[in-house]
Structure 1
Amino acid sequence: MKIAVITDDGKTISQHFGRAQYYLILTIEEGQVVAREMRNKMGHSHFVSQSPAEESHGAGHGMDASSHNKHVSMAETIADCKVLLCGGMGMGAYQSMTQLNIQPVVTTHRDIDEAVQAFIDGKLIDHTELLH
């Protein structure tokens, strides 16, 4: 199984899905990480030309069809992954990942290796209260 982790440095989990620069892809077999791969990740900055006026981050932000299409674009790179670990994301991105059959998990862990081990052990908590 492959899981993706949003990161800017390959060691820590980024706090915001849309702003992270990379995905760290981890291949897990028989409870062990057997491969790691960094992949570029599309983010908010890639869509600036599509929405010249910055949208408000109020209720409903990121829940419209245009936002879903952006989330789909961000997820193309991880279409082979079953899980996405992040430190935070919007409700719209969370729902989009779910619709794409990628299980998003919002974690309070910052260290990637600790979070991945907790996931492998079945002890990683999805902190949906941190969605915005």
Structure 2
Amino acid sequence: MLIAVASKDGREINQHFGHAERFLIFEVDAGGARLVDEKKVERYCTYDAFHPERAHVLQAIADALAGCRAVVCAQIGQGPQMEMERFGVDAFVADGPIKATLVEIAKAL
């Protein structure tokens, strides 16, 4: 299964969903996790008080993550989490090494 990860360094899950400008896409199975793609996206959080809802950006992120079963990040707000799940992408909050964490999450899916 494919799982997207928000990571600053490509080794650890250490980025907030709304701050990500890219998501690393991993193929995860019982044998482990391997990087297969990278999807660049527009950053969701802009700190713009006049445009707090950026539904079009969430839709674009969901489109970029099409085919992914889940997204894993260090933090995600309740609104974006609910929207991602509405788009069919489960959202998980975690930290630590990407590959080991993804194998554990995949067991729960």
The TM-score range, normalised by the shorter chain, is 0.7 to 0.9
Q: Give the SS at the match of 1:15.
A: coil
Greater gyration radius: 1
Structure ranking higher in strand proportion: 2
Q: What TM-score, normalized to structure 2?
A: 0.80
Preserved CA contact (<8 Å) 1:7 1:21: no
Task: Please list every run of at least 4 consecutive aligned residues from structure 1 whose deviation after the TM superposition is greater than 3 angstroms.
Answer: none
Deviations 1:36-88 (A, max 9, x none): 1222232137xx6xxxx8228xxxx96xxx42322111222111101111110
The answer on 1:72 being equivalent to 2:71 is no
Q: 1:91 aligns with which of 78, 88, 95?
A: 78
Alignment RMSD? 2.6
Identical pairs, percent: 23
Higher relative contact order (CA 8 A, sep 6+): 2
- Cα offset, 1:115, TM superposition: 1.3
Distance 1:93 1:114 in 2: 25
Deviations 1:24-47 (A, max 9, x none): 111123x124641222232137xx
Q: Give the SS at the match of 1:28.
A: strand
Q: How many residues align?
A: 108
Q: 2:49 aligns with which of 52, 55, 59?
A: 55
Give structure 1 stretches of 5+ with no counterpart.
125-132
